[in-house]
Structure 1
Amino acid sequence: MARYNELLAQKRELDRRIEEARRVEAAAALEKVRDAVAEFGFSPEDVFGQRRKNAGRVVAAKYRNPTTGETWSGRGRAPQWLRGEDRENFRITE
């Protein structure tokens, strides 16, 4: 049975070999992608898709907790204070 230090040394060597294989294969994959982009004239939008025009925009709050002043835009998971409640009672009207 191998000793603890010997196993750690083997692990370090294996980790080094894994990283080297990953680097080599990643370089080959990147070269294929670059060749395809150059050959077919792909644009960044072709490769990565269209970016949403409203991505990253802050949305105005639609609901407010009158007790704490917390707000929620109506997007994503509803906050705990609004669950099981009639949302219209918390709607911000301005």
Structure 2
Amino acid sequence: MASLKDLLAQRAALEQQIAETQERERSDAIAKVKTLMSEYGLSVADLTARSAKVAGKASKVAAKYRNQATGETWSGRGLQPKWLKAAIAGGAKLDDFVI
């Protein structure tokens, strides 16, 4: 059975190996990215501009239905709002609220 001192030494050696492996893999990844950027003529600005465009695509959807009494709107996506459910339950049609 290994002593505490031996186990601590093994842990220290493993932690060192982990750190070295992380650094090596990180360096390899950076080299791959640089190669791809060079191959496709990309700059860092290209990467950040593209990611900003993707992030900005989550825009608000235009309203398709409006409650004439209160001015509340619904885009037609997701669950129907309570005001619309109540109106439909009261005999109104969805087409009555189309903008």
Output the TM-score relative to the length of structure 1.
0.48
Larger Rg: 2
Output the TM-score relative to the length of structure 2.
0.46
User: Which is richer in helix?
Assistant: 2
